[in-house]
């Protein structure tokens, strides 16, 4: 068993219009301690906000941790676990040869994920999971209150 702290993270992104004003949210849990993070951008996409939620959550951790990261975004989970190794081999190109979309954020997420031991979990969105519902609320808060904790 690793001596690293075990942190549970729920992340979500939101966008009003796609592209449009967007927000991201993350709920971090370490034992009984919870921390809520959120932020937003004026002209973005839902996928960018989903990525940003995971990036900001992992960036917040000051030391290497064992992380259970829960996302309702298959784009994020499959991107980091399935697609990224091939993108990196192909110099950030897709199987069809086009440039990977949101490459700037994928590279940031990769950098942060390498600092930790991350297990990526998919959770069905809007299905009553309390952590996911809290992350969704935070992401929607980020749409209207974009930079409270930056």
Transcribe 99-116 into DSSP letters: BPTTHHHHHHHHHHHHTS
For the stretch 37-94, pLDDT in tens is 999 999 999 999 999 999 999 999 999 999 999 999 999 999 999 999 999 999 999 9
Residue ranges and CATH numbers for the domains of the chain are 6-77+105-144 (3.30.420.10)
Provide the phi-psi class of 26: left if phi over 0, else alpha when psi is between -120 and 50, else beta: beta
| 111 pLDDT more than 80 | yes
Give the span between the Cα atoms of 63 and 93, in whole angstroms: 31
Distance between alpha carbon 48 and the CA centroid of its chain, in Å? 9
Q: What is the mean pLDDT of residues 97-116?
A: 97
Sheet holding 6-17, edge to edge: 33-44, 20-30, 6-17, 66-71, 117-122
Closest CA to 49 of 73, 78, 31, 65: 73
Check: CB of residue 138 under 8 Å from CB of residue 90.
no
Give the residue numbers annotated as catalytic, written as ranges.
Answer: 12-13, 50, 72, 126, 136
Q: What is the DSSP letter of 93?
A: B
SS3 content of the chain, % helix, strand, coil (to 5): 40, 35, 30
pLDDT band at 150 (very low <50, low <70, confident <90, very high): low
Closest CA to 55 of 92, 107, 4: 107
pLDDT score at 44 = 97
């Amino acid at each position: 068993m690793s001596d690293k702290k075990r942190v549970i993270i729920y992340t979500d992104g939101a966008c009003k219009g796609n592209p449009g004003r967007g927000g991201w949210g993350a709920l971090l849990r370490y034992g009984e301690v919870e921390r809520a993070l959120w932020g937003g951008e004026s002209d973005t996409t839902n996928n960018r906000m989903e990525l940003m939620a995971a990036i900001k959550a992992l960036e917040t951790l000051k030391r290497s941790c064992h992380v259970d990261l829960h996302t309702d975004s298959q784009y994020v989970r499959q991107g980091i676990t399935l697609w990224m190794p091939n993108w990196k081999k192909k110099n950030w190109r897709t199987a069809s040869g086009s440039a990977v979309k949101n490459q700037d954020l994928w590279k940031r997420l990769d950098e942060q994920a390498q600092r930790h031991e991350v297990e990526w979990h998919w959770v069905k969105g809007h299905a009553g999971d309390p952590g996911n519902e809290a992350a969704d609320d935070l992401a929607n808060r980020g749409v209207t209150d974009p930079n409270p904790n930056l």
